[in-house]
Structure 1
Amino acid sequence: MAGYVDPLVVGRVIGDVVDLFVPTINMTVSFGSKHVNNGCDIKPSMAANPPSVYISGQQSDLYTLVMTDPDAPSPSDPTMREWLHWMVINMPGGTDPSRGEEAVPYMGPAPRVGIHRYVLVLFRQKSRLPGVASPATRANFNTRWFAAQHDLSFPVATVFFNSQKEPANRRR
């Protein structure tokens, strides 16, 4: 009988973006009617607008949501690892990103070469983060470093999807 292997390990999210952790919060993510499961494929055109995200937890707890692409500009040469696509801070538990503060505006997937992973990581905050928590640049963002700088510790939930450039005649 084969053992269970975490898709975050198989997809190299654990290692490339975050360290091994135990999820403690439920997070659901969807683009329209497409629910995001680890490793699923989402077309860039489907992800042009921010996803619907809902997290469990207590409303008295605050969370930070980070979305990055660890494969920028290409999976074989990720010299801009990680590219920051979205950040919402001070999001109360039991809600969605609209109840938090958008520190970095959403930027949909735009892979030029290869299949890219887009990782959404949720951290529990120990206290309210100041609005200046947003990084100066999207390129070479480091999720681990950001978490350490803002005393966020380990993630409480993570999900990732894959996306690749769509042929011009297939875009909707």
Structure 2
Amino acid sequence: MTDNSLVLERIIGDVLEPFTSSVTLKVAYNNHSDVFNSCEFKPSQIINKPRVDIGGDNLRNLYTLIMVNPDAPSPSDPNMKEYLLWLVNNIPATTGATYGEDIVEYECPRPTSGIHRIVFALFRQRGRQIVHAPRWRKNFNTKDFAEAYDLGLPVAAVFFNCQRESGWGGRR
């Protein structure tokens, strides 16, 4: 079942298609700050890539992890889709992202205004596969990427909110 906050915060729709969670996805920064839907982090808390643990029961199942900021478009580029922050594939079930292949290295989110949603989406692969890094981090589209690599619907997702260190106020 999908967490209602994914629908309420428009993660379902803006970033992902409706799906049913079928694998556990645990994301933690600094080995103690667990990410849960709608929690808040400042950029100084998330400088280093998080620990990501993936559930499942069969090491032969492989997963792709995508981390995006769908709120990155700026007034100068209103047509931008999402900003890709991290992409890892071929992660075996029951392990973590460190056992996968970094296709796009982790980049710390650095919102300049407003509150940004930072989304982790996990997809089950049909088998071991080669994934090519997109040309740019800008204008990434999670739905299009999943379709291009035949990943189907997500099997898990979690998001947090982030704003600049001295930030306050509403969503972009």
Are 2:43 and 1:11 equivalent residues in the alignment? no
Find the aligned partners of 2:9 and 2:160 in 1 and give their Cα distance: 9
Whole-Å Cα distance in 1 between the matches of residues 21 and 116 of structure 2? 23
Instruction: Tell me which residue corresponds to 2:51.
Output: 52
How do residues 34-113 of structure 1 correspond to structure 2 at under 5 angstroms? 34-57=33-56, 58-74=58-74, 79-113=79-113
Contact 1:71 1:78 in 2 (8 A): no
Partner amino acid, structure 2, of 1:91: I
CA drift of 1:74 comes to 4.7
Deviation of residue 80 (structure 1)? 2.5
Instruction: Give me the whole-angstrom Cα distance separating, in 2, the residues matched to 1:60 and 1:161.
Output: 30
1:164 corresponding residue in structure 2: 163
Secondary structure of the residue aligned to 1:45 is: helix
CA RMSD of aligned residues (A): 1.8
1:128 deviates by 1.4
Distance in 2 (alpha carbons) for counterparts of 1:78 and 1:117 = 16
Match of 1:151 in 2: 150
Q: CA deviation at 1:85?
A: 0.0
| 1:79, distance to aligned residue in structure 2 (A) | 3.5
Q: 1:69 to 1:135 in 2, by over 3 A?
A: same
The sequence identity of aligned pairs, in percent, is 48
Preserved contact between residue 70 and residue 81 of structure 2 (Cα < 8 Å): yes
In 2: Cα distance, 1:107 partner to 1:114 partner: 19
3-state DSSP of counterpart to 1:162: strand
Give the letter aligned to residue 34 of structure 2: H
Structure 1 CA distance for aligned equivalents of residues 81 and 72 of structure 2: 6
Q: What is the CA-CA distance between 1:126 and the residue it aligns to?
A: 0.3
Equivalent pairs, count: 163
Runs of 4+ aligned structure 1 residues displaced above 4 Å come to none
Q: Separation in 2 of the partners of 1:59 and 1:78?
A: 42
Aligned partner of residue 133 in structure 1, secondary structure: coil
Cα distance in 2 between the residues matched to 1:148 and 1:26: 22
2:44 alignment partner, SS class: coil
Q: Partner amino acid for 1:99? A: Y
